[in-house]
Amino acid sequence: MNATAEATGVGRMLRQWRTERRISQLDLANQAEVSTRHLSFIETGRARPSRQMVLVLSSALEVPLRERNSLLMAAGYAPAYRETALESPEMADVRVALTMILRQHDPFGAVVVNRRWDVVMASEAWTRFMAVLRPGACTAAGLTVIPAPRPNLMRLLFSPDGLRPAIRNWEEVARASLGRARRDAAGDPVAEEIVRTSLAEGGVSEWWDDADFVTAQRLLIPVEIEMGGHVVRLLSTISTLGTAQDITLQELHIESFHPADAETDALIRGMAVASA
């Protein structure tokens, strides 16, 4: 592949990411501290970006590490980020840290999910809740790395046979979750297909083409669940592992749940004591 073809490939990819993120050429140039003329030349293939420029633009566009490697290779450079399986010996300290984080969120529950919304690890409270809400959906023990096939939160949320019947404010939760999912799925055809399939199963395929979901981001999602004759009111939050430089770690998210009122707090704590 010649230099012009390489630059054209990476330029096209960068332009696609800029469009996905809804950032103008001027705003991106300002963030990357380059001229709009130079950025235009890169996007149209008239200039070949340096390795550092690819990384700077990727960072400004919040491109996931996996896709940053793809951009680097399209520009003719070696990948910059490694990918280490969570089950590997090198990740022992990470697994310990994740276990501690999950424990801290009990008795209200928390899960570690990957970029495609597969549940990688779960707290003991979350596995207990799932045993009540959706028996058989997660048979792995809490605080362990869950082997494939793993429960998928998107499919569980949208499927009529999943968690949907138990969630009283399902449409609010589904819409807010889709806003997150659309952003996470950018650049990943497999993740996009999971979202599209989940929407189809939920009978809301048209949501994919709704522009509001591209930019919709909520820090807290209220979740109302019917459980054992009670209404449990929780708040869902998503956190990441900061500035992780490993693809596996960068793609992990921790979804944790918190009581939205005193009644829920007391109810869940009482359930935890009863099951101990």
User: What's the pLDDT score for residue 41?
Assistant: 95
| More confidently predicted of 8 and 259 | 259
Assess whether 51 and 94 both reside in one domain.
no
Assess whether 29 and 121 both reside in one domain.
no
Assess whether 49 and 173 both reside in one domain.
no
Q: Please state, in angstroms and rounded to a whole number, the distance separating the CA atoms of residues 225 and 233.
A: 6
Residue range 31-60, pLDDT digits in tens = 999 999 999 999 999 999 999 999 999 999
Question: What is the secondary structure of 166-200 as a DSSP string?
Answer: GBTTHHHHHHHHHHHHHHHHTT-HHHHHHHHHHHH
Question: 222: domain range?
Answer: 89-275
Assess whether 110 and 68 both reside in one domain.
no
**Domain boundary at 41, 74, 107, which?**
74
User: What's the pLDDT score for residue 215?
Assistant: 54
Assess whether 59 and 117 both reside in one domain.
no
* Beta-carbon contacts of residue 27 (< 8 Å; ≥ 6 apart): none
Q: Please state, in angstroms and rounded to a whole number, the distance separating the CA atoms of residues 258 and 233.
A: 9
Assess whether 113 and 209 both reside in one domain.
yes
- Match 């998210």 to its residue by tokens: 253
CATH number at residue 136: 3.30.450.180
Question: Residue 213 — very low, low, confident or very high, per pLDDT cuts 50/70/90?
Answer: low
Assess whether 120 and 66 both reside in one domain.
no
Helix 3-20, helix 36-44: angle, nearest 10: 110
**What's the whole-number average pLDDT of the chain?**
91
